[in-house]
């Protein structure tokens, strides 16, 4: 059985990744209606730790995982390392004697406890006294309601997590209220100002992207582009001499590296590095998400009978966050880039066949299983192959972000 595990980023005040919340489905056919919570969490834990591998999904960060009442009472979390998981107590779990006793055990053994979708109500005191993190859903409660609950919690030693933060304005409001952690996709939205120009420091990297994505670019020109930028040269040689290639003798010249990677490989590499530089002042998750989307779009395309250019699918995924990286509109950014009309249509208007693959990648990334199911059916893909492609994309992205 294949397991579908998506992850949602959780940031600290500095927009650095603190953890990921792991979202589970047993398959597209199980997505709606919901499967039993105990079964879902048990399969998630089993597959995350024993099949997929926790390092692949979390890359050294913690994983927030929902635990139902029976799993808490049975002390299931104790099966897993406290360094890796945060125990999320669901909002519908009643804090009876058995639940509290189990949670006290987790607390004493050093596990972090989080209370999900928090709404203040009598009887929660025993859990509040041992909880570490309280999650507030910014779509479920108004700012005034959240302020009121924060006042009632002021006597407890707690940190607060703002959930479903979708804009920078909401991020800043939560920050002002004293929140420590932030979950949502605000980081992937541009902070657009009227008449804002692209920063001069980033123009060079856009020019590099323009050059490398020309259809008839030649190897000599690629070598010239790389030699002009010390950072790209260094990273290329570091990458080509990494353990991934298992070479007996080191590669010392840019020309040799280009020949070894081939035109497609070197164009992808330069695009990745230049795109990362465009996002250098943004949350690290932005470039990581871009790389995951790039690779997953390419891999999803490889599963299809569509006669699509896989390099175009890669670029659609990679460039899908350009508006957030440059705090500008997508239309304004791509108008001067030498991209095909199908790529521009996907990025600018969210239309066309390429867009379907990008939408599938985004839906999987966010755990939107209903949309995943619809797109898998529309694209005539084998749903059993989708999780493998996503995990491969995550691993590939982690390897690149370490260069």
> What is the secondary structure of 39-93 as a DSSP string?
HHHHHHHHIIIIII-HHHHHTTSEEEEEE-HHHHHTTGGGGS-TTTEEEEEPTT-
- The percent of residues in the chain predicted with pLDDT above 70, rounded, is 89
* Predicted confidence band of residue 48 (pLDDT cuts 50, 70, 90): low
Inside any domain, residue 144: yes
Bridge partners (DSSP) of residue 182 are: 11, 162
> Most confidently modeled of 90-104, 166-180, 195-209, 323-337?
166-180
What is the DSSP-derived secondary structure letter of residue 116? -
Q: What's the mean pLDDT in 26-54?
A: 57
Q: Answer yes or no: do 154 and 241 share one domain.
A: no
pLDDT of 195 reads 46
- The percent of residues in the chain predicted with pLDDT above 90, rounded, is 47
Q: Answer yes or no: do 244 and 173 share one domain.
A: no
Tokens of 39: 């079964």
| CATH number for 23 | 3.20.20.450
Whether 105 shows a pLDDT value over 80: the answer reads yes
Inside any domain, residue 104: yes
Q: Answer yes or no: do 170 and 217 share one domain.
A: no
Q: How many CA atoms lie within 13 A of 141 on its CB side?
A: 19
Q: Answer yes or no: do 280 and 385 share one domain.
A: yes
Q: Answer yes or no: do 270 and 136 share one domain.
A: no
* Predicted confidence band of residue 373 (pLDDT cuts 50, 70, 90): very high
Helix axes 230-240, 254-278, angle to 10 degrees: 120
Segment among 64-78, 135-149, 214-228, 373-387 with least mean pLDDT? 214-228
Higher pLDDT, residue 196 or 383: 383
Q: Answer yes or no: do 210 and 182 share one domain.
A: no
Peptide bond into 33 cis (omega under 30): yes
Domain count for the chain, please give it: 2
Pick from 188, 217, 249: which residue ends a domain? 188
Mean pLDDT of all residues belonging to the chain = 86
Whether 37 shows a pLDDT value over 60: the answer reads no
pLDDT tens digits for 302-316?
A: 998 888 888 899 999
Inside any domain, residue 193: no
| CA gap 122, 107 in Å, rounded | 21
Q: Answer yes or no: do 280 and 397 share one domain.
A: yes
* Predicted confidence band of residue 335 (pLDDT cuts 50, 70, 90): confident
* Predicted confidence band of residue 338 (pLDDT cuts 50, 70, 90): confident
Residue 133: phi and psi, rounded to 5, are -130, 135
Inside any domain, residue 152: yes
Higher pLDDT, residue 27 or 354: 354
pLDDT of 32 reads 40
Q: Answer yes or no: do 232 and 358 share one domain.
A: yes
Inside any domain, residue 91: yes
Q: Answer yes or no: do 138 and 220 share one domain.
A: no
What is the DSSP-derived secondary structure letter of residue 141? S
Q: Answer yes or no: do 327 and 396 share one domain.
A: yes
* Predicted confidence band of residue 2 (pLDDT cuts 50, 70, 90): low
Helix axes 386-401, 353-365, angle to 10 degrees: 80
55-87 burial: b if 16+ Cβ within 10 Å, else e: eebbbebbbbbbbbbebbbbebbeebeeebbbb
pLDDT of 232 reads 83
Whether 357 shows a pLDDT value over 70: the answer reads yes
Inside any domain, residue 195: no
* DSSP H helical ranges for 80-199: 97-108, 125-128, 143-152, 168-176
The secondary structure of the chain in percent helix, strand, coil, rounded to multiples of 5, reads: 55, 10, 35
Whether 143 shows a pLDDT value over 90: the answer reads yes
| CA gap 21, 3 in Å, rounded | 16
Whether 43 shows a pLDDT value over 90: the answer reads no
pLDDT of 33 reads 39
| CATH number for 229 | 1.10.3210.10
Q: Answer yes or no: do 115 and 236 share one domain.
A: no
* Predicted confidence band of residue 3 (pLDDT cuts 50, 70, 90): low
Pick from 123, 157, 188: which residue ends a domain? 188
Q: Answer yes or no: do 260 and 204 share one domain.
A: yes
Higher pLDDT, residue 92 or 127: 127
pLDDT tens digits for 165-222?
A: 999 999 999 999 999 999 999 999 887 654 456 676 787 788 788 778 777 777 787 7
* Predicted confidence band of residue 255 (pLDDT cuts 50, 70, 90): confident
Pick from 188, 209, 226: which residue ends a domain? 188
Inside any domain, residue 300: yes
244-260 burial: b if 16+ Cβ within 10 Å, else e: eeeeeeebeebeebbee
pLDDT of 46 reads 65
Q: What's the mean pLDDT in 351-364?
A: 96
Inside any domain, residue 340: yes
pLDDT of 36 reads 53
pTM as predicted: 0.86
Domain residues for 76?
A: 4-188
pLDDT of 67 reads 85
């Amino acid at each position: 059985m294949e397991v579908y595990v998506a992850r949602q980023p959780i940031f600290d005040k500095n927009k650095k990744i603190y953890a990921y919340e792991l979202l589970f489905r047993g398959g597209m056919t199980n997505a709606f209606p919901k499967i039993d919570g105990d079964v879902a969490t048990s399969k998630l834990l089993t597959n995350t730790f024993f099949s997929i591998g926790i390092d692949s999904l979390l890359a050294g960060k913690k994983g927030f995982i929902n635990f139902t009442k029976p799993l808490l009472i049975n002390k299931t979390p104790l099966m897993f390392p406290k360094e890796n998981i945060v125990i999320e107590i669901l909002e519908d779990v009643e804090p009876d004697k058995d639940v509290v006793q189990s949670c006290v055990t987790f607390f004493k053994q050093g596990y972090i406890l989080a209370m999900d979708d928090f709404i203040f109500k009598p009887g929660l005191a025993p859990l509040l006294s041992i909880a570490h993190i309280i999650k507030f859903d910014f779509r479920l409660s108004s700012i005034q309601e959240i302020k009121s609950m924060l006042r009632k919690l002021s006597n407890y030693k707690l940190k607060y997590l703002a959930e479903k933060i979708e804009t920078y304005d909401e991020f800043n409001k939560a920050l002002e209220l004293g929140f420590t952690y932030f979950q949502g996709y605000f980081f992937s939205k541009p902070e657009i100002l009227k008449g804002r120009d692209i920063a001069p420091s980033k123009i060079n990297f856009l020019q590099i992207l323009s050059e490398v994505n020309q259809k008839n670019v030649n190897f000599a020109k690629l070598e010239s582009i790389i030699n002009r930028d010390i950072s790209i040269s260094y990273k290329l040689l570091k990458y080509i001499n990494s353990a991934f290639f298992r070479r007996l003798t080191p590669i010392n010249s840019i020309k040799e590296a280009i020949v070894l990677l081939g035109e497609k490989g070197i164009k992808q590499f330069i695009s990745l590095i230049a795109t990362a530089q465009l996002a250098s002042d943004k949350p690290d998750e932005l470039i990581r998400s871009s790389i995951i989307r790039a690779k997953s779009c390419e891999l999803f395309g490889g599963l299809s009978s569509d006669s699509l250019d896989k390099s175009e699918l890669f670029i659609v995924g990679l460039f899908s966050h350009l508006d957030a990286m440059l705090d500008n509109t997508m239309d304004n950014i791509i108008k001067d880039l030498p991209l095909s009309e199908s790529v521009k249509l996907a990025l600018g208007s969210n239309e066309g066949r390429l867009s379907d693959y990008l939408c599938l990648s985004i839906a999987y990334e966010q755990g939107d299983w209903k949309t995943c199911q619809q797109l898998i059916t529309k694209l005539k893909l084998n749903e059993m192959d989708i999780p493998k492609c996503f995990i491969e994309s995550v691993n590939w992205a982690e390897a690149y972000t370490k260069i």
